[in-house]
Structures are given as structure tokens and as C-alpha cells.
Amino acid sequence: MEQEMFRERNMNLKSRHYFLSILIPVTVIVGSWALLHDKDEKLFLSSGNPVIELREDGFYPKKITIREGETITFKTTRDIYFWPASNLHPTHTLYPEFDPAEPISPDKKWGFQFDQVGIWEYHDHLTPYFKGTIIVLSADFLDKNAIESCKKEIDFNQKTTPRCWMDLVKDAYKKEGLEAAFDRFIYLYNTEPRFSAYCHDISHTLGEAAYEIFSQKKDLTLTNKTIYCGFGFFHGFMETLVTITGDPLSAREFCSYVKEQVGANAEGACYHGIGHGFAATFEETANGDEWSVVNPTIEFCENIAKTKEQLFRCATGAFDSIAIYYYNNLYGFSINEEDPLWFCREQTAKYKKACYLEMMTALLWFAEYDLLKSIHLAKKHVEKDYLPISIQALADNNTRYIINNPDFENIIYTCQALGENLRASCIQGLANGLMQFGEPENEYVKALTFCGNAMLTEEEKQTCFKRVLDYSQQLYSRKKYSKICESLEDGYKKPCKSFRD
């Protein structure tokens, strides 16, 4: 049955172009991680001869990006000795060479040449609550003129992913290979405030390019980098595999490999990509008819999935495709302005949750990315039993557009204005979004800051911290997860205990 459906799909497949731009994520050396930040810090890009100054309120700049081999000069305006050194405190073991090994007089300077590419966090050994971050990029990696040109070109209000950012990553791939391309992806996230809104889509292209490599029978090593920005990598990889190869068995086998290498949630994203890819088969011939895309895709999902979770994730890929057609006005599809969620209500009970979950991206777009307005629309059009998951999805998806300038107080007020049964869903969605679209390797920082906000009730804080810790367990190593747990007050460590047990 699966092979027959693929043959039928391939007959319908016309000339289709894929933007296979870049690469699979590869290892980036990570020196350490910030445990908590009180506020966002501006990222400074060194223009040569960088200097970091320890002032009364901490290091300035607090975060800086340099090229491999550059020397940073450290000095202080305080009238006391200082001692900048690599994390972890007090051993400085993550980058042991980054350590003057003794206090520095306030009238002296100390310079250190950074020869190791990575993200290196450090502190003042004598006052360790003063912390900073140094991002070291490979030599000759940045084309600053291209980046400046890209800044001028990008319009945040455009509906499609900025092609300029994709081209920058692709250019790095052509010149320096896969590692440099992924370094540039991280660099753009850290230096371009608007990049986070598109990082899922751009990581999608990383997956497409990874399939290109995989299809040439080259080695494909999966790391946790592949789950950055909401698992977009696996969406792109599987969509491309399914659409191009017409091989359902290979798709299923690869998802099993993903589970083994990265984890169960990555496997779920893999099955989402399968549904997405099969739905793409029918998009050009559907003539705006949602059923012509979803029905055959659901039938295919039922044949390929072995578990309920796999089936659910595959089905979400089908409904996600419809949502994308709506907000991009593709293939004759258009959202019903009077009843934007009619399609979900007409689904069987088995697939309503998947439909509502994915259609919230379209509803948020329809509400002009106004969370409060989209919540009002959901309360009007979503069936009661599916309203909590819909509110959670709206809050989650909204986060990608505000993550670099979050107004936590206003968002919390919006959630708390909801009824008792919806308030927790909204808070949980916000926490999930901060993890999903947060700064790679440091997703938890803003999320934990949000969870500790004084406006949240104790019950809401418990809900929030649990969601962040559950997500962190999926993202990080056991060692890093333990460090995050250690940073919390005792009252919020219960999920950590269950993990250790």
C-alpha cells in the first residue's frame, strides 16, 4: 500500500525546485552556559583591538564576538584587583589557558589571545557574580560587508523568510564548508534581533541540504544542534526525503535512527516532516481544496506510523501544510475570514487536536501577530475541548516574534486575564516558546527568567519551571541539565529529582 501511494504521488509531482542551501548542524565548541540573566545584553562585534572593561556593574561589553586568533585586553575602572577567567568557577577548567593565574592590579591590563573557536563564558574570579561571554569565530569567517548589505535588504514585515540570510549561510558553506555555515547560522541568531523570528524556517533549509549530503551516501552525524529552533532541521530533511525519493520505508528507518541518536522528540519532528513532505505532493493540484491535500496524507500516515504518537506527529505535518498555504496565499488556498477554523471542526475526533495545534500559526497570522486578538478568535472558533491546547500553541508561536524584546508583564497580564482553565495553558505555551526559539545552547536563560517573574502566582511559576525543565532535559546533556537544576531555588527542583531517580 505504501509503495502504491508513493507511485501515485510521484505521478502527480511536477517540476519542483528545492532551495537546498546549506548543511547539517555540526559540532560547535561550547565553553559554558549562563545560569541566569536579569536582562538581555547587547552583543558587540569586535572591529579589531577589542577591550573588555570591568566596571562597577560588571563587564562591558558583556558579550562580544571576535575572530579566532584575536587578543582581548582586559582592564578595570574599579580600584580593586580583578581576575578575568574561564568558567567554571573556581577551577576555570572549560578553557584553562584563559586564566592569568593571579590577581591583576587595577592599574594594569591583561591580554589573552583566543585560539579556540567556541562560545566561552567567563567571570571575575574575585567577584564571580560578574560574568561575560566571548564568541570566537573561525578566522576569515565573516564577510562584514555582506552582512551590512543584508541588514539593509531585510524587511521584517515581509511574509517570506529573508532570502538574504539564507544566502549568507549558503555563501559560508561554499567558501568554508559545513561547520562555517552552521557557525554563521549561530552568529546571525546572536547578532540579528529579527533572525529568531525566522530561525525555524532557516533551520528547515539546513535539513534540506543535509538530505542532499545524505543522498550522496555521505556520513550524517546527528547532534543536539539539529533540534535548534523548533526542530526545523528534521522538518526540512524529511520533507525533502519523502518528496524526492518516494520511499516510505527509508523515511521510517531514518526516523528510527533519529530517535536513537537525538531522542524521542526529534523522532516526532521527523514524522511531522514525513506528513509535511507527502502533503507537498498534492499542493499544486489541489486547487485550494484542503481535503485534497489532507485526506491522502492522513491515509499515508496511517500506513507508515507504528504508534499513536507517530501517527499524531505525521498528521500535524499535513495540517501544518494547510496553515502555511493560508498565510503565504499559495496554490489557491485562502483562509475563511468569517470562520478561519472550520476545517478543524469538520475533522474526525482522532485528528482534531492535530489540526487545531497546527492551525494556530495561521490564526496568529490572521490576527496580525497580536496574541490577545488571536486568543479572542480562538475562544470564538475553537471547540471547548481543544481550547487549552490551542491557547498554548498561540502563546508558543507568538514567542518567536517577541523573544528579543519580550514584554513579560504585558504577556503575563494577557494570560492571567483568561479563565482559570486557560491561564496555565497560556503560561506553559510562553515557556515552551522561549525554549523552542531561544538562543541556541542558552534557550533556558530567558525561559527561567520568565518563570521567576514576580507577577506570576506560585502555581503559575511551578507550571512554568516544570515545562522549562522538561524541555531542557530533551535539549541538553545530563551534566548541563544538572547545572540548570542547581541554579534553581529548592521549591522548583521537583522535576529535577524525578529525572535523577
Q: What would the pLDDT profile of 200-236 be if each residue is shown by its tens digit? A: 888 888 788 778 777 877 667 777 777 788 788 888 8
Residue found under cell 545584553: 41
Residue found under cell 522538518: 235
Neighbouring CB atoms inside 10 A of 221's CB total 10
- Domain-embedded: residue 233: yes
Among 217, 308, 222, 218, which Cα is nearest to 257's? Answer: 222
Same domain, 209 and 252: yes
Same domain, 423 and 500: yes
| Exposure b/e, 340-375, CB count within 10 A at least 16 = b | bbebbeebeeebbbbbbbbbbbbbbbbbebebeebb
- Amino acid identity, position 139: A
Residue 78 CB partners (closer than 8 Å, separation 6+)? 54, 55, 56, 106
Same domain, 2 and 69: no
What is the domain range of residue 67?
43-137
Same domain, 385 and 466: yes
Of the three residues 313, 334, 355, the one that is the final residue of a domain is: 334
CA angle 298, 235, 440 (to 5 degrees): 145
Question: Rounded to two decimals, what is the model's pTM?
Answer: 0.68
Same domain, 369 and 413: yes
pLDDT tens digits, 327-358 = 888 899 999 999 999 999 999 999 999 999 99
Starting at the edge strand found earlier in the chain, the sheet holding 110-113 runs 58-60, 51-55, 71-76, 110-113
Q: What is the domain count for the chain? A: 3
- Domain-embedded: residue 352: no
- Domain-embedded: residue 342: no
All three cell numbers of 76: 578595570
Cβ distance 446 to 438 under 8 Å? yes
Same domain, 388 and 276: no
- Sign of the Cα pseudo-torsion (234, 235, 236, 240, in order): positive
Low-confidence ranges of the chain (pLDDT < 70): 1-48, 139-161, 170-179, 218-219, 497-501
- Domain-embedded: residue 406: yes
pLDDT tens digits, 144-175 = 656 666 666 655 445 445 777 877 776 666 66
Distance between CA 341 and CA 184 in Å, rounded?
39
Same domain, 370 and 500: yes
Judged by phi (left if over 0) then psi (alpha if -120 to 50, else beta), residue 217 lies in left
Distance between CA 247 and CA 226 in Å, rounded?
23
Same domain, 242 and 370: no
- Sign of the Cα pseudo-torsion (60, 63, 64, 69, in order): positive
